[in-house]
Amino acid sequence: MGYVQNKIQSKLLAIPAAVAFALVYLPLKGFAFRLDLAVCASYTITMFMNARRKRGKIPLLSGDDAIPLSEILLGHVLALLALVAIIRIGVYAAPALPHWMTVSIGTTPGGRHLPAALRYLQTFMLFVVGFIESWWLTTLKTDEEKQAKNRVVRGKAAYEEHLSNRLRLR
């Protein structure tokens, strides 16, 4: 039952993401960056709903396995910036790229043109950004990390080491 329910929940992520996209995209007619904002809104909904679904009953913001809110926001903002950069670089760099990257790579038997190599490259990079953030949000702390968080720090040298350890990325 858990597997089927998990599959249904993963398919239902598209509905709130599409609604968020429409709610941001439609009212902003005439605004130059409305597509970027709509993509960011739907991406945000997708990421946090997916993290909630994958973590199950383990909360994202509280408890032993919680990620500090500042880290979550910083990581998510960096992912959004990467998303927008990948989309915008594709738009603005297309005229300067070689012809073979911007021309359709072929046609289907029905006569439709396939996307250019640039679009496939962008899609792959967007997938990588989403995969990394999803993995980061859903990774649970190890027992060693939990113990290090609860360890009492005594002495100046130990305190400085503790501070430098907290600054390291996962």
The three-state secondary structure class of 116 is strand
Give me the phi and psi of 107, to 5 degrees please.
-130, 155
Same domain, 23 and 39: yes
Q: Is the pLDDT of residue 147 over 60?
A: no
What is the tens place of the pLDDT at every residue in 69-128? 888 899 999 999 999 999 888 888 888 888 888 887 777 777 777 778 888 888 899 999
- What pLDDT is stored for residue 85 in this prediction? 93
Same domain, 57 and 15: yes
Residue 140, number of CB atoms within 10 A of its CB: 11
Cβ atoms of 83 and 123 closer than 8 Å: no
**Single pTM value for the model:** 0.71
Total of domains in the chain:
2
Range of the domain at 12: 2-139
Same domain, 74 and 119: yes
Same domain, 128 and 94: yes
CA angle 49, 60, 38 (to 5 degrees): 35
Same domain, 59 and 80: yes
Give me the mean pLDDT over the 49-73 stretch: 76
Same domain, 115 and 164: no
The three-state secondary structure class of 67 is coil
Same domain, 91 and 164: no
Same domain, 112 and 164: no
Same domain, 14 and 74: yes
Q: Is the pLDDT of residue 153 over 60?
A: no
Closest CA to 17 of 49, 42, 44, 51: 42
What is the band of 57 on the pLDDT scale with cuts at 50, 70, 90?
A: low
- What pLDDT is stored for residue 98 in this prediction? 84
What is the tens place of the pLDDT at every residue in 20-53? 989 999 998 888 889 899 999 999 998 888 888 8
Same domain, 78 and 160: no
Same domain, 133 and 144: no
Write down the residue that tokens 């946090």 correspond to. 48
